[in-house]
Amino acid sequence: MKTPISSWVTHAGREPAEVVVNAMDEWWRNTRTPRAAEVPCHWRRDALHSLVLVHVDRAAHKRRHQPTFVSAAPCDSPGEDHGLTPMSAIVRDDTYGPQPVRIVHANPESAVGRAITMVRGEEGTLAVALATETEFDDADFFDAHRASLVNPLRDGVALAIIHAELQGPEAAHQVMEREDLLRAAGYAAYTIDLDGDDDDHTVHRHLAGLLEDVFDEVAGIKADAAARVLSSTPLWPALVIRTFPLWRQRHSALTAHAAELPLKRSR
Amino acid sequence: MATTSSWVAHASREPNAGMIRALHEWIDDSVRLAAATPGSCPFLADAVFAGIVAHTDRALHKRRQRPTFLSSHPCGLQSLAAHGLRPMCDVIDHDEFGPEELLVEHTGGTSTLAEAIASAAGADMSAFVPVFTESEFMDADLFHLHNAQLLNPRHGGVVIPFMIVPVGDSEQETQDREDIVRAMGFTSYTFECDWDDFTLEDHTRLALLMEDVLDEIVQIKSDAEARLLSRPPLWPLVEMRASPGEGFR
């Protein structure tokens, strides 16, 4: 990492400044050196997981929250030590010092189900679940994935991130089906495409902007709940990341799919 | 006391109505409790000082910074007694990094501004908030230590000075003061209100002023980081207009 950024300027604007985007990109690239294959945890080794890790960590850091990242697959990190958060390397002179990254491997539970369990009764907690679309749609776990299980007033925030691994463009009805399913589970989809056409810098800017929208929506739900003006169960934002073969190929193809383990039911 | 969720507290540039109400209550409680307790700290007992503490703490809490307040007034608290928690720990529910103590230094006969500049120019990257009167600022013996050019915009900490100035100065007196403030490397942001009737609207104005002040500091820091500063910057200094007795009690 080149010179870390001053804690005074890291979160100066709503969306990260150029210098912050560059630092995030550098962190992300450094996690995927040739030695990355030896790293025991896919949150460090895999392009998609590490992309989610650095972006959500930035958005949460700005909001004084410490996220816990949840995925189903186990890892071999000794003693559950996953090192420091990306922002610990990107920001210098942070008042609260370097922070250990919090990662939970939920298998045999589903990631989204575990994240929801984690935030119940813990209003300040942020749990971020990265799951494949197959995992999210799994009929055995679907009830545990319902956003209505989260009370906007008393519970924390479970951010569901769904990876849709596509082989090519989707038809409109396929997109609608996904969004309908998410809506039925209590989520509103915020979608980003990693198709390989955009350069990485553009992807970083789009993803950072989208996460600002997601967390603004979370704050809106929380504010409405606190003001007792929620007339119905809210639709919590869920991030849908659609990856395409070109992007996966360019980024070593080690995606959430490769890291995925079969869950309890199919074992 | 009214509290606000950590998800909502800093969600927008300007604090929402819930936060403003909570700040108002914190200041009221602080002054009332201090009045009822023999021996206290001016930062907790005086409405002007408590207002500075509450609003500065909010703006810095939002930016993941922890201020140290400096006063030349003696502290009536027992030497081992702390100043309690920083206001945001009372106002915000479930803060991930809380609870944190309110940091206050009493400098005695030393200039608070000089102390703050010396600390921020050193190795400490934190925020220092000195509160002083105009006559303390103009003190000929210490005046050379009040120069903002002693600060390092890229590698140093930050000073957010609050100068208590009299109400009712003539235009010429105000202009003269502005010239001196500018010559010392500061640019002034002025706040005035009726301290005996500090309304919710006044809180909103002060919160907005603090957002402007912090945005200016962040801009200076950003320019320094990008090596775009062609000359020493003018750092913000907040002038609090108060009648004699207010801010001095």
- Domain coordinates in residue numbering, chain A: 38-259
Q: How far does A44 lie from chain B, in Å, by closest CA? A: 24
Query: What's the Cα-to-Cα distance from A173 to each of A139, A185, B151, rounded to whole Å?
Result: 21, 18, 61
Compute and round to an integer the Cα radius of gyration of chain B: 17
Residues of A in contact with B59 (CB under 8 A): none
User: Which of A5, A11, A94 lies closest to B225 in CB terms?
Assistant: A5
What is the pLDDT at residue A34? Answer: 61
Chain A residues 169-228 with CB within 8 Å of chain B? 216, 218-220, 222-223, 226-227
- What kind of fold does domain A38-259 have according to CATH? Rossmann fold (3.40.50)
- pTM, entire model: 0.93
CB contact set of B43 (below 8 Å; sequence gap of 6+): B49, B50, B52, B53, B69, B71, B83, B102, B104, B131
Q: How far does A39 lie from chain B, in Å, by closest CA? A: 29
Per-residue pLDDT tens over the stretch B157-206? 999 999 999 888 899 999 999 999 999 999 999 999 887 788 999 999 99
- Pair B138, B177: CB distance under 8 Å: no
What is the pLDDT at residue A37? Answer: 61
Check if A167 contacts B (Cβ < 8 Å). Answer: no
User: Which of B5, B64, B217 lies closest to A226 in CB terms?
Assistant: B5
Per-residue pLDDT tens over the stretch B69-128? 999 988 878 665 688 999 999 999 889 998 999 999 999 889 999 999 999 998 778 999
- CA pair distance B55, B39, nearest whole angstrom: 24
- Pair A248, A198: CB distance under 8 Å: no
Closest-CA residue of B relative to A217 is B11
